[in-house]
Structure 1
Amino acid sequence: MKKIAFVFPGQGAQYVGMGKEFVDNFKVANDVFEKASDSLGYDMKKLCFEGPEEELKKTENTQPSILTASVAIYEVLKEHGHVPEIVAGLSLGEYSALVASGVMSFEDAVKVVRARGKYMQEEVPLGVGTMAAFIGLERDKVIEACERASEFGVVEPANYNSPVQIVISGEVKAVEKAVEIGKEFGAKRAMVLNVSAPFHSSMLRGAGDKLGLELDKVELNDFVYPVIANVTAEYYDSVSSVKELLVGQVSSSVLWEDSVKKMIDAGIDTFVEVGPGKALSGFIKRISREVTLLNVEDMASLEKTLKALED
């Protein structure tokens, strides 16, 4: 018997056209897009299917659009009788996981992540903060590079994606200095990313506080499936911890590698990436060669995954 986890992508996975094939073929997917449009007051299908890309790339649009596409695809998998044992998501993807687990209604989640995107973007003026990726540098060396560069400003580990990829975040000068130091330490690659804000750093604490006020308006329900929190790489132990962990997530490191290891330790042998892109599958492949990796983002990948799950 396969032990299956569904994992949901974060910001950066978006592309024009995502979700369209599901809306064209499945009423449950169409319903999710309709609910998004009703909740937000604009046409989610038009945004996701027609773009333009510049509009889709705005953080306050990106976040609800990825959530919508991911949840629509999840509903199609569920309709086919496939449900997970555990769910998790990378950053924004954690909201998709919480919707899949029944903790938050989709209508509430799509409003919350739109506000989340807006607050994260507004918290730090453009040009003040950035992020950088290290390839092939050990975790302790990345932490040391950040510590050494911190005399130039805020710089902190933001995403522990896999054993070979760690992303840092902070003020531009400090991030650039950490990249220099990382290269001296022997990173295979270290490069500043083309992002608009220093996500998952302490510079976004104010955005987390504002997000907390949005989450106060949301009714939370019990978990249908266990969900792993980014901030702790542990299962949520109660509904009462959801708000605090989601607020903390905005300005804390995302422990993705640790989260995946936690699922593997629980006996998960099959990961299904539910939503646009294959970034998470790439990370998981670096964490373990022993697990089966599947993804669903269009009709072709759906058919392939359904066949693999039924074998």
Structure 2
Amino acid sequence: MLAFLFPGQGTLRVGMGGWLRRHPAAASVFEQADAILEMPISRLCARGPVDDLVATEHAQPAVTVCNLAALAVLRAEGHAPDIVAGHSVGELSALYAADVLDLATTLRLVRVRARLMAEVSGTGAMAAVLGVPLPQVQRLVETVSSDAEPLTVGLVNAPDHVVVSGAAPAVDRFRQSLGATGKLAPLKVSNAFHSPLMAEALGEWERVVRDQPMRTPTVPVVPNVTATPTTDAEVLRESVISQLVGRVRWAETMRRLPADATCVEVGDSRALAGFARGAGLRCLSLSDPASVRRLAGAVTA
């Protein structure tokens, strides 16, 4: 079984997509994306400046374009997935890979999602909690969260890699409660994604998503909020909507994949490959051009 995994926003750097832009199939995706998005996303990926690239309104389109460019390379080499999943905004790339969305719709949805999330008011924050089991993180979150200053577990990337998301004062209280138990690493993001603070953007996001045509997927998709493979287009629509404020259940997603699956991180990132290997799965990353050759060997072995 071949599983395509698409990374999300936390995988940015100036120069991203460099080797992909030299491949004709990927170069075509970059060219089309610049026109559809009506922004010089290719130039931002290649040359920055970094402050513009990491801004949410640019970061999500940039990651998505690199994902779709990497997918174009795989398709040109004759590779097709048996199942797909995407991490956070990467879920829209997964829907494109499963033929639920076309290229233009995928990029326009990403552009709207990025704009809405960038425009959310408030001072939310996110932090990765390393080396602390999820139940302990959950207990601490419930202790420091309040109606006025909510905090939630926004992402579960691995059993020992959890991201808390919410009001900045609540994140500070969580830091104090955690003490020396584990490591807390603040994330460089503009707000508290996958938390109740994103509810401000949810209404418009729901209207936009409901207006888009979605086809029945050609392969199963594992949504973030359910971690359950599905080929139901309406389930995927509801999942894309609720994901804005819902938890990314990535560790559960990895457990849904067969132990003998070959995974490919389809984008210019190594983050998901690391999580997959931690879950005992074999995983290649398209951040390394040699992975295309290695994949050919893996699928014929």
Shorter-chain TM-score bucket reads over 0.9
**Structure 1 unmatched runs, 5+:** none
Please state how far the C-alpha of 1:268 moved relative to its aligned partner. 4.6
Across the aligned residues of Structure 1 and Structure 2, the Cα RMSD in angstroms comes to 1.7
User: Which aligned pairs between 1:90-101 and structure 2 lie closer than 5 A?
Assistant: 90-101=87-98
Question: Of 7, 18, 21, which aligns to 1:20?
Answer: 18
Q: Confirm whether residue 150 of structure 1 aligns to residue 142 of structure 2.
A: no
Q: Residue 217 of structure 1: CA displacement?
A: 3.0
| Conserved? CA contact 2:56–2:189, under 8 Å | no
Question: Per-residue displacement from partner, 1:22-69 (whole Å, max 9, x unpaired)?
Answer: 22222x212211221121122332122122111111111111111111
Structure 2 distance, partners of 1:74, 1:297, is 12
- Match in the other structure for 1:277: 269
The alignment's TM-score, normalised by the length of structure 2, stands at: 0.94
Which residue identity does 1:5 align to in structure 2? A
**1:134–1:182 Cα contact (<8 Å) kept:** no
| Corresponding residue number in structure 1 for 2:170 | 174
Counterpart of 1:56? 53
Over 4 Å off, 4+ runs: none
Pairwise CA distance, 1:164: 1.0
How many angstroms apart in 2 are the aligned matches of 1:246 and 1:270?
25
| Structure 2 residue aligned with 1:42 | 39
List aligned pairs for 1:102-113, cutoff 5 A: 102-113=99-110
CA contact (8 A) 1:157 1:166 kept: yes
State the match for 2:131 in structure 1: 136
Residues 197-225 of structure 1, C-alpha deviations (whole Å, 9 max, x = no match): 00100110121221112213321111011
Matches within 5 A, 1:213-292: 213-264=207-258, 267-288=259-280, 291-292=281-282
- Matched position secondary structure for 1:159: strand
Q: 1:196 to 1:42 in 2, by over 3 A?
A: closer
Larger mean CA deviation between 204-213 and 7-16 belongs to 204-213
CA deviation string 1:153-182 (max 9, x = no partner): 200000000011000001111111112222
Partner of 2:8: 10
Q: State the 1:298 CA deviation.
A: 4.4
- What is the identity, as a one-letter code, of the residue corresponding to 1:138? P
| 1:160 corresponding residue in structure 2 | 156
Between the aligned partners of 2:260 and 2:91, the Cα distance in structure 1 is 18
What SS does structure 2 have at the residue aligned with 1:20? coil
Q: Which amino acid aligns with 1:14?
A: L
For the residue of structure 2 that corresponds to 1:283, the secondary structure is: helix
Deviation at 1:301, TM superposition (A): 3.5
Secondary structure of the residue aligned to 1:140 is helix
The answer to whether the aligner puts 1:86 opposite 2:86 as a matched pair is no
Shift in Å, 1:141: 0.7
- DSSP-derived class of the 2:292 partner: helix
**Cα deviations by residue, 1:132-158 (Å, 9 ceiling, x for unpaired):** 111111111111000100147200000
What is the identity, as a one-letter code, of the residue corresponding to 1:134?
A: V
1:248-287 residue CA offsets vs partner (Å, 9 max, x unmatched): 10101100000110113xx552111110110111112222
Deviation at 1:114, TM superposition (A): 1.2
| Percentage identity across paired residues of the two chains | 32
Distance apart, 1:124 and its partner CA: 2.7
Are 2:9 and 2:63, in contact at CA under 8 Å, matched by a contact in 1?
yes
Alignment match, 1:295: 285
SS of 2:81's partner is coil
Amino acid paired to 1:170: G
1:206 is aligned to 200
